[in-house]
Amino acid sequence: MKKIIGWAVAIYVLYCVGMAWYLFSFADTSIPPEWKGTSADPATFLTPREQLLSEQYSQLKNFLFFVSVPYDWLVYFGVLGLGVSKVLQTCATRATKLFVLQVALYVFWLSLIVMALTLPLDFVSYRISRAYDISTQPVSSWLRDELIDFFVNYVLTFFIVTVLYGLIRRFEKRWWLYAWGLSVPFTIFFMFIQPVVIDPLYNDFYPLKDKALEAKILTLAQEAHIPAKHVFEVNMSEKTNALNAYVTGIGSHSRIVLWDTTLKRLQEDEVLFIMAHEMGHYVMKHVYWGVAGYIVLTFFGLLVANWLMKWVIARWGAHLRIKKMRDIASLPLFLLIISLLNFSVSPLVNAVSRYEEHAADKYAIELTGDTEAAVSSFQKLTKAGLSQVNPPYIVKLFRYTHPTILERIVFLQHVQSSKSQ
């Protein structure tokens, strides 16, 4: 097993070298010749230094993403292969006979180990954002968010693992089906409480301070037949210089949220376009479609995870120190498989998201009719976040939930052309 882990580390290192070569030397991020000199060309709205910083920052962040995902897999595999998971299970069972407390102890120790091993990469990502002036967050504030992340994830993981392994122990063959059935109301409940319970742990949310702007946004919402009473503002300027707005939650707890950085750096007509875009998500019920899609993927994910776990344990269980699936020591294997499945379907999930974002762009243009504000808002989003206008294809495939800035501005130029004809 130590040799296998050694080979896994060697393959990971080679993968990192190959990915670095692809992202930093091989990938072509230039603008197609037909769009040179247009509003889609970063040379028309970014200074030469901003173009250089944008390229460097995007390359570094993309590289970190592609090395951190398999690094997580390596951590889970190492915890299993080196017998750490088995030791944690033994310690938990010796400490208490109650299954719930065994899970609580095991999940806590495993979470600490994973956090300790992954925190350095997270810190590097944070330092890069600070170095390129994207993040304005002090180290103390960043550590506070990491600590909140740890305990929020711990509570959720403890609850899920307790239910999951309780079902595996009682229904060895059909546990995945019952787990999926329970995940449906849990997913809906979590989406319902996230805007009012989870999100406020990280930032302060309050009704939009600019009442004149809020009145215009609510008038726009009326035209779209949206029964909105408030637009929410969040104080992100203490953490970042990037711009954003989003729609979150379901039912009566749905919220349209604007970052205060967006309000400070965009003109009123640009903010109205961004709001119209978010209203498009609401009108076309993208949040509900997202929840439905997640429920469907969870069904197939648990089905495949059940099959893979049984197969792996039957073939390599002795090497991984796992006797049965019901052993809590098998949790890293479950997490590894789920992570692999999530990564494998991410191109499909991202493609659906990009389709919805494009539909929201179209809706916003139909509602506001202001293509100039739309173009300038996308340009300012690029400038604030140092985003690549035309990222490498593999980056778009695995990372982009929105169309690229090139695609969005080109679409707007086609709209402008059709209007002028």
Distance separating the N- and C-terminal Cα atoms of the chain: 68
Query: Which residues are annotated binding-site positions for Zn(2+)?
Result: 277, 281, 357
Determine the distance from the C-alpha atom of residue 157 to the mean position of all C-alpha atoms in its chain, rounded to a whole number. 18
* Three-state DSSP state, 205: strand
Residue 82 DSSP class: T
CA distances for 17 relative to 14, 20, 67, 101, 314, angstroms: 5, 5, 10, 43, 34
Is 152 strand, coil or helix? helix
Cβ proximity of 313 and 330 under 8 Å: yes
Q: How far apart are CA 142 and CA 137, in angstroms?
A: 6
**C-alpha–C-alpha distance, residues 243 and 261, integer Å:** 6
* The pair of three-digit structure tokens given for residue 233, joined into one six-digit string: 């503002």
Contacts of 258 (CB under 8 A, 6+ apart): 208, 231, 232, 233, 234, 245, 271, 274, 275
Question: How far is Cα 341 from Cα 325, in angstroms, rounded to an integer?
Answer: 18
Catalytic residue among 72, 233, 260, 278: 278
Q: What's the DSSP call for residue 135?
A: B
Going by C-beta distance under 8 Å and a sequence separation of 6 or more, which residues neighbour residue 219? none
CA distance 379 to 49: 16
Residue 225 to residues 220, 232, 253, 276, 305: CA-CA distances in angstroms? Answer: 9, 18, 17, 12, 43
Q: Is 270 a catalytic residue?
A: no
Going by their DSSP bridges, the two strands 245-248 and 205-207 should be labelled as unpaired
Q: At what angle are helices 331-368 and 371-385 packed, to 10 degrees?
A: 150
For residue 227, count CB atoms less than 10 angstroms from its CB and return exposed for 0-12, middle for 13-18, buried for 19 or more: exposed
Active site annotation includes 210: no
State how far the Cα of 4 lies from the Cα of 100, in Å rounded to an integer. Answer: 34
Q: Residues 233, 260, 356, 361: which is the catalytic one?
A: 361
Assess contact for 244 and 189: CB atoms under 8 A: no
Which of 398, 415, 316 lies closest to 22, judged by CA? 398
Please enumerate in sequence order all residues whose Cβ is within 8 A of that of 51, keeping only pairs 6 or more positions apart, or say none: 42, 43
Task: Look at residue 240 and give its three-state secondary structure.
Answer: strand
Q: Which residues are identified as catalytic?
A: 278, 361
